[in-house]
Structure 1
Amino acid sequence: MSPTPPDALLFITPVCTHCPSVLQALSELVKQSQVGKLTVVNIAAHPEQAAEYDVRGAPWLRLGSFTLTGAQSMAELKQWAEWASGDEGTAHYVEHLLKEGGYKQAVAFISGDTQRLKPLLAIVANPEANISVRLGVSALLEAYANMSELQALLPPLAELTFHFDHRVRADACYLLGLTGSVAARPYVEACLKDAHEEVREIAEEAMEKLAKKQVKT
Structure 2
Amino acid sequence: MEFTAVERDAVRSWNRYMDHEVPLVLRRTADPRSETLRDFLETLMSLADRVRGGVLEEKEMPGLPAFLIGGAWRYHGLPRAMELRPFLDLLAFQVESPAQAWPESLRVAALGVENPATLKVFVTPQCPHCPRVVQDLAPLPFLNPKVQVVLVDGELFPEEAREYGIRAVPAVVLDEYFRWTGPVRVAEVLEALARREGSDMSPEAMVRMLKEGNAEGLARLMIAAGRVFPGFVEVISHPEWSVRLGGLVLAEELVSKMPQGFGEILSALWDRMYEWPEAVQGDILYLTGLNGDPEWVGEIQSFLEGRNVSADLVEVGREALEALLGRTSPV
| TM-score > 0.5, shorter chain as reference | yes
Say whether 1:88 aligns with 2:196.
no
Aligned equivalents of 2:137, 2:188: Cα separation in 1: 12
1:157 deviates by: 1.0
Match of 1:172 in 2: 284
1:194 deviates by: 4.2
Contact 2:286 2:317 survives alignment (8 Å): yes
Structure with bigger strand share is 2
Q: SS where residue 49 of structure 1 aligns?
A: helix
TM-aligned CA distance change 1:200 to 1:111, over 3 Å: closer
TM-aligned CA distance change 1:213 to 1:93, over 3 Å: farther
Q: SS where residue 108 of structure 1 aligns?
A: helix
Match of 2:107 in 1: none
Match of 2:269 in 1: 160
> Size of the alignment, in residue pairs?
204
Aligned equivalents of 1:136, 1:149: Cα separation in 2: 18
1:20 deviates by: 2.6
Say whether 1:118 aligns with 2:231.
no
Letter in 2 for 1:96: R
Structure 1 gaps, min length 5? none
Match of 1:109 in 2: 217
Aligned equivalents of 2:145, 2:186: Cα separation in 1: 10
TM-aligned CA distance change 1:189 to 1:21, over 3 Å: same
How far does the alpha carbon of each residue in 1:121-168 deviate from its partner, in whole angstroms, 9 at most, with x for none? Answer: 222564x632332233234324556x3435421342134222252445
Aligned equivalents of 1:143, 1:213: Cα separation in 2: 24
Letter in 1 for 2:324: L
Alignment of 1:1-217 (within 5 A): 2=112, 4=114, 7-33=118-144, 36-63=147-174, 65-72=177-184, 76-86=185-195, 87-89=200-202, 91-99=203-211, 102=212, 105-115=213-223, 118-119=228-229, 121-124=232-235, 126=237, 129-142=239-252, 147-163=256-272, 165-167=275-277, 170-195=282-307, 197=309, 201=314, 202-212=316-326
Q: SS where residue 61 of structure 1 aligns?
A: strand
Letter in 2 for 1:107: A
TM-aligned CA distance change 1:23 to 1:138, over 3 Å: same
TM-aligned CA distance change 1:43 to 1:203, over 3 Å: closer
Give RMSD over aligned pairs: 3.8
